[in-house]
Structure 1
């Protein structure tokens, strides 16, 4: 176990990368606060796991989740913003409905959740955002307009936040988790869930730079 990683919060922890990462962190000895929309994780429990109901696209739900974390009286070594949606991955024409729903979770919700939870992150801790290399300018293609744009906005926010939090020595990292075999990524994706989770854990424990985009497939910083 990395002794500096004691308390971690993971959003979107009920399935996919969020659940895999939660299990990995617990395996490594960390205590995990898992945020899920239902307040449950099906068929899984652990003595060092606390599950809190929270929908990051809803401001009242964010405040309720924050109050519960406050009552726990702990400071976080890492806040991991994993929750996200990919509703238009195969589309090329933007629609108002999918743009609004995507940004509500991937951008607005993620930003507002982070802002509310900043007080729980210890000085010298870290904040991670699961983004995508699809949002880097050189990788832009016509498909997934809402998804790409929402994640590009998070990349910008991460850099801004890294500058704001420099005086607290909080490392901020947007990262590419790979194209992963999850419900969103599909069964034919080239990166297994274990490969992605292990790559993210390496970023948590080994990356020392703030405001830089981390690619788990390269195990290194990548230019925006």
Structure 2
């Protein structure tokens, strides 16, 4: 039986590239996006579902209606925003939006689908090395950095709670050319496809639960 992967933010960037890659490797893929449509993929093993992670009603609907018949082997929390990259001072609205997507939405969507996970499932949260407290040497991107640090803490908490039942990790996908890095073209050296291959290599390995991993270098990151 084919394993099933659930990927949030599947309509573009890393999420789209991951969806295509898992399909190529004989997985069933469920991809979420706000519109509920991923026109770039036409495959019998792909299902697109509508999800707005900032809306609790949308999360509940996705979990209880769209996903109730599915058992998930791998959950990849990829949906995220970076609204204040290179900005030195936090701004109220973008700060709230960043946490709504990167933290609150991710946490409550994960909690909503935990009962749909198969035994020994994997949960992978797409974080960033910018969320490393130990590695922070800058004073910009306050909301983005803090949101990824919070996501990393959730990874640790969840890995403790699900020990022996699921494997949980945070990953840094590299500096990828996506809508998040549009203002940092020089730094965004990786294509979504290259990043997806690195992530796929990690996810399909037997990784330790509760770790923070750099998929570009395939090495551990400090929290």
Fold match, TM over 0.5?
yes
Match of 1:158 in 2: 155
Shift of 1:181: 1.3
Which range is displaced more, 48-57 or 180-189? 180-189
CA contact (8 A) 1:86 1:147 kept: yes
- Post-superposition Cα deviations, 1:63-114, rounded to whole Å, max 9, x if no partner, equal 111123444x221110100000000002110111111110000001100000
Structure 1 residue aligned with 2:90, among 74, 90, 94? Answer: 94
Q: TM-score scaled to structure 2, two decimals?
A: 0.94
CA contact (8 A) 1:80 1:128 kept: yes
Q: Quick one: distance in 1 between partners of 2:156 and 2:192?
A: 27
Gaps of 5+ in 2: none
Structure 2 residue aligned with 1:80, among 76, 80, 94? Answer: 76
Gaps of 5+ in 1: none
CA contact (8 A) 2:135 2:222 kept: no
CA contact (8 A) 2:5 2:72 kept: yes
Structure 2 residue aligned with 1:135, among 126, 131, 137? Answer: 131
Structure 1 residue aligned with 2:54, among 53, 57, 60? Answer: 57
SS in 2 for 1:62: helix
Q: Quick one: distance in 1 between partners of 2:171 and 2:22?
A: 17
Match of 1:221 in 2: 220
- Post-superposition Cα deviations, 1:36-71, rounded to whole Å, max 9, x if no partner, equal 100001332211000100101110000111123444
* Count of aligned pairs: 219
Does 2:10 align with 1:13? yes
Match of 1:195 in 2: 194
CA contact (8 A) 1:52 1:68 kept: no
Q: Quick one: distance in 1 between partners of 2:12 and 2:192?
A: 11
Which range is displaced more, 185-194 or 107-116? 185-194
RMSD (Å), alpha carbons: 1.4
Q: Quick one: distance in 2 between partners of 1:193 and 1:10?
A: 14
Shift of 1:121: 1.0
Does 2:120 align with 1:124? yes
Does 2:171 align with 1:175? yes
Q: TM-score scaled to structure 1, two decimals?
A: 0.94
Shift of 1:143: 1.2
Following superposition, which runs of at least 4 residues in structure 1 exceed 4 angstroms of deviation? none
